[in-house]
Protein backbone atom coordinates (compact mmCIF):
# COMPACT_ATOMS: atom_id res chain seq x y z
CA UNK A 1 0.00 0.00 0.00
CA UNK A 2 1.64 3.24 -1.13
CA UNK A 3 1.18 5.93 1.50
CA UNK A 4 4.27 8.04 0.84
CA UNK A 5 5.69 9.49 -2.36
CA UNK A 6 9.28 10.73 -2.39
CA UNK A 7 10.47 12.76 -5.35
CA UNK A 8 13.77 13.82 -6.78
CA UNK A 9 13.51 17.55 -7.55
CA UNK A 10 15.56 18.88 -10.49
CA UNK A 11 14.54 17.15 -13.70
CA UNK A 12 11.58 15.50 -11.97
CA UNK A 13 9.40 18.24 -10.45
CA UNK A 14 11.14 21.35 -11.72
CA UNK A 15 12.58 21.76 -15.18
CA UNK A 16 16.05 23.18 -14.64
CA UNK A 17 17.52 21.14 -17.49
CA UNK A 18 18.19 24.08 -19.81
CA UNK A 19 19.34 26.21 -16.88
CA UNK A 20 21.88 23.62 -15.76
CA UNK A 21 22.97 22.73 -19.30
CA UNK A 22 23.56 26.38 -20.19
CA UNK A 23 25.44 27.01 -16.96
CA UNK A 24 27.65 23.96 -17.36
CA UNK A 25 28.49 24.89 -20.94
CA UNK A 26 29.29 28.48 -19.99
CA UNK A 27 31.73 27.21 -17.38
CA UNK A 28 33.16 24.59 -19.76
CA UNK A 29 33.61 27.09 -22.59
CA UNK A 30 35.34 29.55 -20.30
CA UNK A 31 37.63 27.13 -18.49
CA UNK A 32 38.39 24.38 -21.00
CA UNK A 33 37.69 26.17 -24.26
CA UNK A 34 34.80 24.04 -25.55
CA UNK A 35 31.28 23.02 -24.53
CA UNK A 36 30.37 19.65 -23.08
CA UNK A 37 29.31 16.94 -25.51
CA UNK A 38 25.82 15.42 -25.25
CA UNK A 39 27.39 12.29 -23.78
CA UNK A 40 29.24 14.32 -21.16
CA UNK A 41 26.05 16.16 -20.23
CA UNK A 42 24.25 12.84 -19.80
CA UNK A 43 27.05 11.53 -17.60
CA UNK A 44 27.00 14.67 -15.43
CA UNK A 45 23.21 14.79 -15.05
CA UNK A 46 22.21 14.05 -11.46
CA UNK A 47 25.73 14.42 -10.08
CA UNK A 48 26.55 16.96 -7.39
CA UNK A 49 27.78 20.40 -8.40
CA UNK A 50 31.16 19.55 -6.91
CA UNK A 51 31.47 16.48 -9.14
CA UNK A 52 30.34 18.45 -12.20
CA UNK A 53 32.87 21.22 -11.66
CA UNK A 54 35.66 18.75 -10.87
CA UNK A 55 34.93 17.04 -14.17
CA UNK A 56 35.42 20.35 -16.02
CA UNK A 57 38.54 21.36 -14.08
CA UNK A 58 39.87 19.00 -11.42
CA UNK A 59 42.39 21.59 -10.14
CA UNK A 60 40.38 24.82 -9.94
CA UNK A 61 36.92 23.36 -9.31
CA UNK A 62 36.39 25.28 -6.03
CA UNK A 63 36.39 28.57 -7.91
CA UNK A 64 34.15 27.11 -10.60
CA UNK A 65 31.62 26.06 -7.97
CA UNK A 66 31.22 29.62 -6.73
CA UNK A 67 31.08 30.95 -10.29
CA UNK A 68 28.32 28.49 -11.21
CA UNK A 69 26.34 29.25 -8.03
CA UNK A 70 26.33 32.97 -8.83
CA UNK A 71 25.19 32.35 -12.40
CA UNK A 72 22.55 29.80 -11.29
CA UNK A 73 21.08 32.09 -8.64
CA UNK A 74 20.90 35.03 -11.04
CA UNK A 75 19.12 33.05 -13.78
CA UNK A 76 17.07 30.52 -11.80
CA UNK A 77 13.71 32.28 -11.58
CA UNK A 78 13.63 33.31 -15.24
CA UNK A 79 14.62 29.90 -16.64
CA UNK A 80 13.24 27.27 -14.24
CA UNK A 81 9.67 26.01 -14.67
CA UNK A 82 7.60 23.14 -13.25
CA UNK A 83 7.06 20.14 -15.46
CA UNK A 84 3.44 19.96 -16.66
CA UNK A 85 1.04 18.79 -13.97
CA UNK A 86 3.60 18.31 -11.21
CA UNK A 87 2.48 21.16 -8.96
CA UNK A 88 -1.12 19.96 -9.27
CA UNK A 89 -0.05 16.37 -8.54
CA UNK A 90 1.75 17.33 -5.34
CA UNK A 91 -1.21 19.42 -4.17
CA UNK A 92 -3.64 16.55 -4.84
CA UNK A 93 -1.39 13.99 -3.11
CA UNK A 94 -1.30 16.29 -0.08
CA UNK A 95 -5.08 16.70 -0.10
CA UNK A 96 -5.53 12.92 -0.29
CA UNK A 97 -3.36 12.44 2.79
CA UNK A 98 -0.18 11.06 1.26
CA UNK A 99 3.11 11.97 2.89
CA UNK A 100 5.42 13.76 0.46
CA UNK A 101 9.20 13.90 0.56
CA UNK A 102 12.03 15.18 -1.59
CA UNK A 103 15.53 13.73 -1.83
CA UNK A 104 17.88 15.74 -4.03
CA UNK A 105 21.58 15.88 -4.79
CA UNK A 106 21.24 19.65 -5.00
CA UNK A 107 21.94 22.01 -2.10
CA UNK A 108 19.48 23.26 0.50
CA UNK A 109 19.77 26.77 -0.93
CA UNK A 110 18.96 25.59 -4.47
CA UNK A 111 16.06 23.42 -3.30
CA UNK A 112 14.53 26.22 -1.24
CA UNK A 113 14.87 28.51 -4.28
CA UNK A 114 12.92 26.03 -6.39
CA UNK A 115 10.25 25.30 -3.79
CA UNK A 116 9.62 29.01 -3.38
CA UNK A 117 9.41 29.55 -7.13
CA UNK A 118 6.83 26.75 -7.53
CA UNK A 119 4.97 27.60 -4.32
CA UNK A 120 4.85 23.99 -3.09
CA UNK A 121 6.91 24.13 0.11
CA UNK A 122 3.78 23.96 2.30
CA UNK A 123 2.94 20.50 0.90
CA UNK A 124 6.35 18.91 1.49
CA UNK A 125 6.63 16.88 4.71
CA UNK A 126 10.36 16.15 4.48
CA UNK A 127 13.26 17.22 2.29
CA UNK A 128 16.78 15.81 2.23
CA UNK A 129 19.52 17.60 0.29
CA UNK A 130 23.20 16.92 -0.31
CA UNK A 131 23.87 19.07 2.76
CA UNK A 132 22.08 16.51 4.95
CA UNK A 133 23.96 13.34 3.99
CA UNK A 134 27.48 11.98 3.78
CA UNK A 135 26.82 10.20 0.47
CA UNK A 136 24.51 11.49 -2.26
CA UNK A 137 22.56 9.36 -4.72
CA UNK A 138 23.17 6.71 -6.02
CA UNK A 139 23.74 5.96 -2.34
CA UNK A 140 20.43 5.15 -0.63
CA UNK A 141 21.38 7.27 2.40
CA UNK A 142 19.12 10.21 1.54
CA UNK A 143 16.08 8.02 0.85
CA UNK A 144 16.62 6.01 4.03
CA UNK A 145 16.99 9.22 6.02
CA UNK A 146 13.71 10.49 4.56
CA UNK A 147 11.98 7.23 5.52
CA UNK A 148 13.24 7.58 9.07
CA UNK A 149 12.19 11.22 9.29
CA UNK A 150 8.73 10.48 7.91
CA UNK A 151 8.33 7.36 10.05
CA UNK A 152 7.23 5.12 7.18
CA UNK A 153 8.04 1.55 6.14
CA UNK A 154 9.91 0.65 2.98
CA UNK A 155 6.93 -1.10 1.39
CA UNK A 156 4.74 2.02 1.77
CA UNK A 157 6.99 4.20 -0.39
CA UNK A 158 7.23 5.13 -4.05
CA UNK A 159 10.32 7.04 -5.15
CA UNK A 160 10.15 9.01 -8.40
CA UNK A 161 13.15 10.42 -10.27
CA UNK A 162 14.63 11.18 -13.67
CA UNK A 163 18.24 9.93 -13.56
CA UNK A 164 20.08 6.64 -13.25
CA UNK A 165 21.29 7.75 -9.82
CA UNK A 166 17.67 8.09 -8.70
CA UNK A 167 16.66 4.59 -9.71
CA UNK A 168 19.87 3.04 -8.38
CA UNK A 169 19.40 4.78 -5.03
CA UNK A 170 15.77 3.65 -4.79
CA UNK A 171 16.69 0.07 -5.64
CA UNK A 172 19.47 0.12 -3.04
CA UNK A 173 16.92 1.35 -0.48
CA UNK A 174 14.53 -1.45 -1.54
CA UNK A 175 11.65 0.92 -2.29
CA UNK A 176 9.24 0.96 -5.23
CA UNK A 177 10.64 3.23 -7.89
CA UNK A 178 9.60 5.06 -11.01
CA UNK A 179 11.23 7.02 -13.80
CA UNK A 180 9.48 10.04 -15.26
CA UNK A 181 8.81 9.85 -18.99
CA UNK A 182 10.53 13.21 -19.56
CA UNK A 183 13.85 11.80 -18.34
CA UNK A 184 16.75 12.41 -20.72
CA UNK A 185 17.94 8.82 -20.31
CA UNK A 186 18.22 6.82 -23.52
CA UNK A 187 15.84 3.90 -24.15
CA UNK A 188 18.79 1.54 -23.71
CA UNK A 189 19.63 3.00 -20.30
CA UNK A 190 15.99 2.88 -19.21
CA UNK A 191 15.83 -0.79 -20.10
CA UNK A 192 19.12 -1.48 -18.35
CA UNK A 193 17.96 0.25 -15.14
CA UNK A 194 14.62 -1.55 -15.13
CA UNK A 195 12.54 0.83 -12.99
CA UNK A 196 9.30 -0.55 -11.55
CA UNK A 197 7.32 2.07 -13.44
CA UNK A 198 7.79 4.75 -16.10
CA UNK A 199 5.31 7.61 -15.78
CA UNK A 200 4.59 9.41 -19.03
CA UNK A 201 2.65 12.20 -17.30
CA UNK A 202 1.94 13.61 -13.86
CA UNK A 203 -1.62 12.32 -14.13
CA UNK A 204 -0.27 8.83 -14.73
CA UNK A 205 1.46 8.92 -11.32
CA UNK A 206 -1.79 9.25 -9.40
CA UNK A 207 -3.52 6.64 -11.59
CA UNK A 208 -0.82 4.06 -10.87
CA UNK A 209 -0.78 4.79 -7.13
CA UNK A 210 -4.56 4.40 -6.86
CA UNK A 211 -4.51 1.27 -9.02
CA UNK A 212 -1.71 -0.27 -6.92
CA UNK A 213 -3.47 0.50 -3.66
CA UNK A 214 -6.75 -0.95 -4.96
CA UNK A 215 -4.94 -4.17 -5.91
CA UNK A 216 -3.45 -4.43 -2.42
CA UNK A 217 -6.79 -3.69 -0.76
Catalytic residue annotation? 8
Cα–Cα distance for residue pair 140/63, rounded to 1 Å: 29
Contact yes or no for 134/162 (Cβ under 8 A): no
Q: Residue 83: beta bridge partners?
A: none
182 backbone dihedrals φ, ψ, rounded to 5° = -90, 10
Cα–Cα distance for residue pair 19/71, rounded to 1 Å: 10
Task: Give pairs for 194-203: CB < 8 Å, separation 24+.
Answer: 195/167, 199/160, 201/84, 201/85, 202/83, 202/84, 202/85, 202/86, 202/88, 202/89, 203/85, 203/89
Among 100, 122, 109, 36, residue whose Cα is nearest residue 72: 109
In the chain, what is the greatest distance between 2 CA atoms, to the nearest angstrom?
58
Amino acid sequence: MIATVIFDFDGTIINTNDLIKEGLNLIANKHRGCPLTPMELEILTGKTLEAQMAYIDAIHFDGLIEEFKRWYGHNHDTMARPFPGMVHLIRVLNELGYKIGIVTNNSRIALDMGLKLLGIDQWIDCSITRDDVKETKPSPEGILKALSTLGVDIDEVLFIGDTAHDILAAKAANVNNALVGWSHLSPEMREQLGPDHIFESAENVLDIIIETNCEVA
